[in-house]
C-alpha cells in the first residue's frame, strides 16, 4: 500500500495517474483482467460518479459502465439532463470505479483490494476535483465512507475523499429490483438540486 501511495501521489495529472495504475503490479486483479478501465466522461465535470469495478463488457471495452447497468445509468443521467458525452461542466459527468480491473467472475472486491487501491482513488478525486461525488452502490460506499448499508445510506449527503458525497443504489441493483428506481430517482433529483443551488 505504501507503493500505491507513492505512485498515486507522484501522478500530477490524470494521464499520469492512468499510467501509474497501468504500471502498478501489486494488485492480483490486474492479472485476470483484459484491460485497465480508468474512466469515461469529462474531467472538468462537476459530478464524479464512482462505481464498483468493471464487469465483462467494461473489461472488454476498457470503459466504465458500458454494459446493461451502464446503459441504465446513462438513461438515469439523461433524465436529469446529464450526459457523459457532453463536455460542459454543467451537463457533463465523469465516471470511474473504485477498482480499475475486473474481479474474476465478477466476484465482490475483497476489502484488502479496496484498501490497496484507495490511494489511487483519492488521488483520482483530487485531480478531477469535482464539486460532488456520487457513491454508486455498496462497495463504493464502503470504499468512500468505510460503511456499507446502501439502503440506509442512500439519499443522504455524507463526505468521501474530502468531497460532499451522495450514496445511491447501483444500477445493477435497480435492474434486479425495479421498484427501487423510485428511490434512485429521488436521489438524482437531490443531486440536481444540490448542483443547481451552486453548493
Binding site for ligand URA (CB under 6 A): 51-55, 58, 64-65, 67, 69-70, 97, 172
Question: CA 183 to CA 25: how far, in whole Å?
Answer: 39
Nearer to ligand URA, 24 or 65 (CB): 65
CB of 99 to ligand URA, least distance (A): 9
Residue 27, C-beta contacts closer than 8 angstroms, at least 6 positions apart: 101, 113, 116, 117
User: Which neighbouring-strand residues pair with 30?
Assistant: none
136 neighbors 51 (Cβ within 8 angstroms): yes
Nearer to ligand URA, 65 or 169 (CB): 65
CB of 168 to ligand URA, least distance (A): 12
Which residue, 173, 171, 139, 141, is CA-closest to 154? 141
CB of 50 to ligand URA, least distance (A): 9
Sign (positive/negative) of CA torsion 145, 167, 19, 14?
A: negative
Nearer to ligand URA, 133 or 172 (CB): 172
CB of 9 to ligand URA, least distance (A): 25
Question: CA 10 to CA 81: how far, in whole Å?
Answer: 36
CB of 40 to ligand URA, least distance (A): 9
34 neighbors 102 (Cβ within 8 angstroms): yes
Nearer to ligand URA, 109 or 130 (CB): 109
Cell of 24: 502498478
Sign (positive/negative) of CA torsion 70, 84, 150, 37?
A: positive
CB of 49 to ligand URA, least distance (A): 9
Nearer to ligand URA, 37 or 116 (CB): 37
Nearer to ligand URA, 41 or 54 (CB): 54
The three-state secondary structure class of 143 is helix
Report the DSSP pairing between strands 47-51 and 94-97. parallel
Amino acid at each position: 500500500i505504501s507503493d500505491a501511495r507513492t505512485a498515486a501521489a507522484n501522478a500530477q495529472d490524470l494521464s499520469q495517474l492512468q499510467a501509474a495504475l497501468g504500471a502498478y503490479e501489486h494488485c492480483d486483479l490486474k492479472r485476470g483482467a483484459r484491460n485497465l478501465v480508468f474512466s469515461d466522461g469529462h474531467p472538468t465535470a462537476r459530478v464524479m460518479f464512482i462505481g464498483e469495478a468493471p464487469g465483462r463488457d467494461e473489461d472488454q471495452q476498457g470503459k466504465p459502465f458500458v454494459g446493461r447497468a451502464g446503459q441504465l445509468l446513462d438513461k438515469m443521467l439523461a433524465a436529469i439532463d446529464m450526459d457523459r458525452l457532453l463536455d460542459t461542466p454543467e451537463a457533463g459527468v465523469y465516471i470511474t470505479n473504485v477498482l480499475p480491473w475486473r474481479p474474476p467472475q465478477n466476484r465482490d472486491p475483497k476489502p484488502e483490494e479496496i484498501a490497496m487501491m484507495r490511494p489511487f482513488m483519492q488521488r483520482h478525486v483530487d485531480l478531477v476535483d469535482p464539486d460532488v461525488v456520487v457513491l454508486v452502490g455498496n462497495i463504493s460506499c464502503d470504499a468512500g465512507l468505510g460503511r456499507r448499508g446502501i439502503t440506509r445510506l442512500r439519499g443522504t449527503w455524507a463526505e468521501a475523499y474530502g468531497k460532499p458525497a451522495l450514496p445511491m443504489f447501483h444500477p445493477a441493483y435497480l435492474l434486479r429490483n425495479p421498484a427501487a428506481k423510485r428511490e434512485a430517482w429521488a436521489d438524482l433529483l437531490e443531486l440536481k438540486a444540490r448542483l443547481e443551488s451552486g453548493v
